[in-house]
A and B are shown apart, each in its own frame.
Chain A
Amino acid sequence: MLNWDDVLVTAPTLVTRESDGELVVVLPEQGKFVVLNATGARVLRLSDGTRTLREIADTLAVEFSADQAQVEADVLRFAQSLVDRGALHVLK
């Protein structure tokens, strides 16, 4: 399980491409893909190995003028799903 102090980074082999407002994320080692909307794409891009999960949630709450508690819940669930799929890694 992720915690708020975890620093996330995208998988090194992950390949992305924008398509019609969405971000296609391909995981070559698994032969799988995910399609992210603008918010999901922003979470992925903020996961650059320099921010904690809490900092990512704070940034999104400001950028999208959204309720902090709701953003935190959404970010935690979404980041965990990307970690489970191998798109994000927790930086040790």
Chain B
Amino acid sequence: MKKLLSVSLIGLTVAAASTAQARDYDHVRIGVDVPYVPMEYRTAEGDLTGFDIDLGNAMCEQIGVTCEWIEQEWDGIIPGLLSRNYDAVMSSMTINDERRQQVLFSDPYITMPSAWFAASDLDIDEANEETLEGLTIGVQRGTLQDNYVTDKYSSVANISRYSTADDMVLDMDAQRLDIVFLDFPIGQSTLVENDNGDYTIVGEQITEPKEYFGDGFGIAFRQRDEALAEKFNEALATLKEDGTYDEIYARYFGEK
């Protein structure tokens, strides 16, 4: 019965989704969760920008398709892809096995460590079960950081889960959170280089175990859109060769 219901609900969603039935895309809709500085965010004028956006647009141009960015909150971003609200997700998504069961990933286009950030006066050198005991940890719901922290520290610490990274930073400033765990450059730009408070990285940048931290960021597609993924892979290779990739990288992270 449940299966029947899900099937009919999926049917409805598919029927309701727009006309992009064709296998050959000339218009690709890309789901993105903003803001996530500096990967994807809006400028003061309201324009969508960031590393993912610039690289994605460059890839689309390379392939010769038009791209449309569709905003979607993180915790519904994969279901949105599967129910055809958009055709790809390029939103700082780490490639890992759990997600591979649901979606098809492009080649990784950047690798990004995670890191702990806390107020400078928290006074711990390293995050482990002893130092985190009794603290309140902030994570973005459904991220690999959430999974890692939940599996590793939910017995010793309180975990607060947020829909957006913005709300999390707000609660960090409000001193509701003791420590947060997020992608290193995001923490660097929203907490450390921000003058609202005095924050610092705690311990080293983290990239292991691969089971959680995966193989870098990839663009996600529906499983059957292999041709589309292949096109993006080719475009990425070309952009890396002709220097466009390095130029975009330098725009957001400085020279390599």
A and B associate? no
B residues in contact (CB < 8 Å) with A: none
A residues in contact (CB < 8 Å) with B: none
